Amino acid sequence: MFLTCQGTLGIVPATMDYNGEARPGDFHAGYQEIEGINLGYLQINGTQMFALAQVLSDLFKDIPRTTISKKMETLKIKSRRCDLKELRTLKAINSLPTRAVKCSLISKADLEALCTSCKSLTPPR
């Protein structure tokens, strides 16, 4: 019902420590089709994370942002700020405009809960 296809772009190179070993923090970037819309994601520590800006502009474009914020508050959905490497990767996969200077991420589970909660608010496609 929720997911229809998935693509992965690859692994973003890890930061190397002075011993030449990769440090934790690797993440994958890819695309996930959700509700018929292709959204870019980062797979961070085993969790798919989506750019909230893209979710709002592409998936919930017909719903006021204040309504989405209230739903997120009610559902206790927390977003987290992405770091510079994550921000650059999201820009590279066209999930964010190149002029973006910050971005918040939400998990796939939280996005699914938000989609379910907002289903009655969106006009049929």
Give the residue extent of every domain in the chain: 28-117
For domain 28-117, give its CATH number from 3.90.1150.10, 3.10.260.20, 3.40.50.12780, 3.30.70.260: 3.10.260.20
Helix (H, G, I), strand (E, B) or coil at 57: helix
pLDDT in tens, the chain (125 residues): 343 344 545 444 443 333 334 445 578 899 999 989 999 999 998 999 999 999 999 999 999 999 999 999 999 999 999 999 999 999 999 999 999 999 999 999 999 999 999 887 756 55
Helix (H, G, I), strand (E, B) or coil at 89: helix
| Model confidence, pTM | 0.76
Across 78-114, b (16+ Cβ under 10 Å) vs e yields ebeebeeebbebbbebebbeeeeeebbbbbbebbebb
